[in-house]
């Protein structure tokens, strides 16, 4: 082939080697550029990102948030809007202009808070590729201060009532938005993951109740300091506030005035993403992982729609939650979480979902991250990212984590990709068959289980699969959030990366390598399939990157990747 030409096989590219460069690397015949980075203003009256100050609360509230993760693209009447999660912020970086990287005042704390949430932006394609349209009336920042409606069985429950919301029906804000989903009716689903790390207690010796400890709530936050600027994050003052987070939230990307809806029917846990599949009879099935060592994999099946009703938000307000049980013979079962099976009310199941799943004997998993459903066949994949505690100790308040089934390795440092096929090719079946699509490992360093499955080799090694989604051809895109030491167990793996898997043959090829100390997470496609947008999160989290530029301050962002010949990628 001529130089610069791309492979003509099903993958459409030649695999690239691992590396530890501080840039994005793509295959021969492809190119990339930044679409948007942390702190880029969404409105023209906001100052450009300033590496000396790293912005203020006011500028950050009207600029692209930090640590972008899940994202989706929506089109209507020729207008393109993207919704992007801003999961969290690297405190050493956002406050890196202050002594020892510590917040100096309340504005610093508010700036950190405003870096969280969701950024909604209009984008447009021009001669130079895609760009963000500043001042579009569709641009919006959703933050931990945005008013939201609580929907579903738990709305109004006493566990959701607070001083600010005595009815328990309106919550404020969303934070730690990790993976995402989208609905056939054109809304964005943003998933609240590690919501616990923002709460603290002002009262000496305060002990959260066991129900909160199971979710990781303690008397100390992770350094965000939100209780100092907003008393609802002080659990000794407002013990129910943590019950109002940990949900999937539905956002209308085309209506900046709309009130986001927290969907309690989909359960409360550390949500990774929400993969929605429609059934032939108009029900929505949503697959969801709870990303914590030894927690569970879930399914929601909506109640049938009213006769003649179009698919819409009501489908995500009422239905049944299930947790998965896996058996060593490669079969499994969805266990319904109902008042009959759990002894809990419907509302309690939606608030204390982990406890409900424990009560029915679901299988503790190696940190379920993204779930991806095959576009052409009833086959679903989940990334089980890693679990250093597998076989050793349970999650706080959780269940034992024996080695076996889809979690076959003690102290699992590499992770695996599990798949299952619902019985009768029906996503509402309670039975399924499972196998492992890939067991990540290092065949250059280890023999046996730590070498990984047969489709892992010296040329495609990776660890900690995390983001996953299918393209419309049925190729599986796999993103990693793992160890990037490039030594020991991880020698030869380089920086975090994105790979493509052919789920029919099992072959996996590396497509992209991210800059130093990033994870690669979140992806979406331009409508013409000629550009794939990829998220680069927390480059330089340990202080060793200046990506994407020369300003010295590393910034998370979205890169747009296309072929140099302008042809379709997928
Ligand atoms: Fe935010 Fe489980 O990754
Ligand atoms: Ca993730
Ligand atoms: Ca991860
Ligand atoms: Ca992350």
The SS3 of residue 255 is coil
For residue 5, pLDDT over 90 is answered with no
- Could you tell me the distance, in angstroms and rounded to a whole number, from the CA of residue 270 to the centre of ligand 1? 8
- Work out the pLDDT band at 8, boundaries 50, 70, 90: confident
For residue 108, pLDDT over 70 is answered with yes
The SS3 of residue 423 is helix
d(CA 27, CA 129): 19
- Work out the pLDDT band at 6, boundaries 50, 70, 90: confident
Classified by CATH at the fold level, domain 30-563 comes out as Neuraminidase (2.120.10)
Q: What is the rounded (10 degree) CA torsion for 322, 327, 331, 332?
A: 0
- Work out the pLDDT band at 3, boundaries 50, 70, 90: low
In whole numbers, what is the pLDDT of the chain averaged over residues? 97
Token duo for residue 51: 């590496």
Token duo for residue 141: 């920042």
pTM beyond 0.95: yes
Domain limits, the chain: 30-563
Kind plus residue range of the DSSP H or E element containing 80? strand 79-86
d(CA 53, CA 61): 15
For residue 85, pLDDT over 80 is answered with yes
Smallest-distance ligand from the CA of 482: 3
pLDDT tens-digit readout, 288-316:
999 999 999 999 999 999 998 999 999 99
pLDDT tens-digit readout, 388-404:
999 999 999 999 999 99
- Please state the rounded mean pLDDT for residues 216-242: 98
Token duo for residue 112: 């950190």
- Please state the rounded mean pLDDT for residues 115-131: 97
For residue 7, pLDDT over 90 is answered with no
pLDDT tens-digit readout, 275-290:
999 999 999 999 999 9
On whether the CB atoms of residues 291 and 367 are closer than 8 A, the answer is yes
What phi-psi label fits residue 120: left (phi over 0), alpha (psi between -120 and 50 degrees) or beta?
Answer: beta
- Please state the rounded mean pLDDT for residues 328-338: 98
For residue 112, pLDDT over 80 is answered with yes
Q: From the CB of 241, is ligand 1 less than 6 Å away? A: no
Predicted local distance difference test score (pLDDT) of residue 49: 97
- Work out the pLDDT band at 4, boundaries 50, 70, 90: low
For residue 1, pLDDT over 80 is answered with no
- Please state the rounded mean pLDDT for residues 125-130: 94
Among protein residues, the one whose CA lies closest to atom 1 of ligand 1:
178
Secondary structure letter of residue 18 according to DSSP = P
Task: Pick the atom of ligand 1 nearest to 69's CA.
Answer: 1
Burial 122-138 (b: 16+ CB within 10 A, else e): bbeeeeebbbbbeebeb
Task: Pick the atom of ligand 1 nearest to 481's CA.
Answer: 3
Q: From the CB of 178, is ligand 1 less than 6 Å away? A: yes
Smallest-distance ligand from the CA of 468: 2
Secondary structure letter of residue 544 according to DSSP = -
Task: Pick the atom of ligand 1 nearest to 178's CA.
Answer: 1
């Amino acid at each position: 082939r001529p130089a610069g030409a791309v492979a003509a096989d099903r993958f459409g590219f030649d695999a690239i080697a691992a590396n530890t460069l501080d840039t994005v690397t793509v295959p021969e015949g492809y190119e990339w550029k930044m679409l948007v980075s942390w702190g880029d203003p969404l409105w023209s009256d906001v100052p450009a990102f300033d590496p000396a100050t790293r912005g203020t609360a006011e500028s950050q509230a009207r600029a692209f948030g930090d640590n972008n993760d899940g994202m989706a693209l929506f089109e209507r009447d020729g207008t393109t809007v993207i919704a992007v999660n801003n999961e969290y912020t690297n405190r050493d970086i956002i406050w890196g202009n202050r002594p020892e990287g510590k917040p100096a005042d309340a504005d610093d704390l508010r700036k950190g808070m405003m870096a969280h949430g969701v950024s909604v932006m209009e984008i447009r394609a021009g001669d130079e590729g895609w760009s963000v349209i500043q001042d579009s009336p569709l641009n919006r920042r959703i933050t931990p201060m945005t008013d939201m409606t609580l929907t579903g069985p738990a709305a109004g429950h006493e566990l959701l009532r607070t001083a600010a919301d005595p009815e328990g029906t309106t919550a404020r804000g969303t934070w730690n938005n990790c993976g995402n989903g989208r609905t056939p009716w054109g809304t964005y689903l943003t998933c609240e993951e590690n919501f616990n790390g923002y709460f603290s207690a002002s009262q000496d010796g305060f002990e959260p109740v066991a129900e909160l400890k199971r979710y990781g709530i303690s008397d100390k936050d992770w350094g965000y300091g939100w209780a100092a600027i907003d008393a609802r994050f002080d659990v000794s003052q407002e013990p129910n506030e943590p019950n109002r987070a940990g949900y999937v939230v539905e956002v209308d990307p085309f209506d900046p005035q709309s009130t986001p809806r927290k969907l309690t029917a989909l359960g409360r846990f550390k949500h990774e993403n929400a993969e929605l599949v429609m059934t032939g009879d108009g029900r929505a099935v949503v697959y969801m992982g709870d990303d914590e060592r030894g927690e569970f994999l879930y399914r929601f099946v909506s109640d049938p729609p009213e006769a003649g009703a179009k698919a819409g938000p009501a489908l995500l307000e009422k239905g049944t939650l299930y947790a998965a049980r896996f058996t060593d013979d490669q079969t499994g079962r969805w266990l319904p979480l109902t008042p009959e099976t759990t002894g809990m009310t419907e509302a309690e199941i939606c608030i204390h979902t982990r406890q409900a799943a424990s009560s029915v004997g679901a299988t503790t998993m190696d940190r379920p991250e993204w779930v991806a459903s095959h576009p052409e066949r009833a086959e679903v994949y989940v990334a089980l990212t890693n679990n250093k505690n597998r076989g050793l100790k349970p999650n706080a308040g959780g269940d034992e984590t024996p080695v076996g089934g889809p979690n076959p390795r003690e102290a699992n440092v590499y992770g695996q990709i599990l798949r299952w096929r619902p019985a009768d090719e029906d996503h509402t079946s309670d039975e399924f068959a499972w196998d492992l699509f890939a067991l990540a490992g290092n065949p250059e360093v280890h023999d046996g289980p730590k070498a990984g499955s047969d489709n892992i080799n010296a040329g495609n090694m990776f660890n900690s699969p995390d983001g996953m989604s299918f393209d419309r051809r049925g190729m599986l895109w796999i993103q990693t959030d793992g160890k990037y030491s490039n030594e020991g167990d991880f020698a030869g793996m380089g920086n975090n990366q994105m790979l493509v898997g052919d789920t029919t043959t099992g072959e996996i090829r590396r497509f992209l390598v991210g800059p130093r100390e990033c994870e690669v997470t979140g992806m979406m496609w331009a409508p013409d399939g000629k550009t794939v947008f990829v998220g680069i999160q927390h480059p330089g989290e340990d202080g060793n990157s200046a990506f994407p530029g020369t300003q010295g301050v590393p910034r998370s962002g979205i890169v747009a990747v296309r072929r140099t010949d302008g042809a379709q990628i997928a």
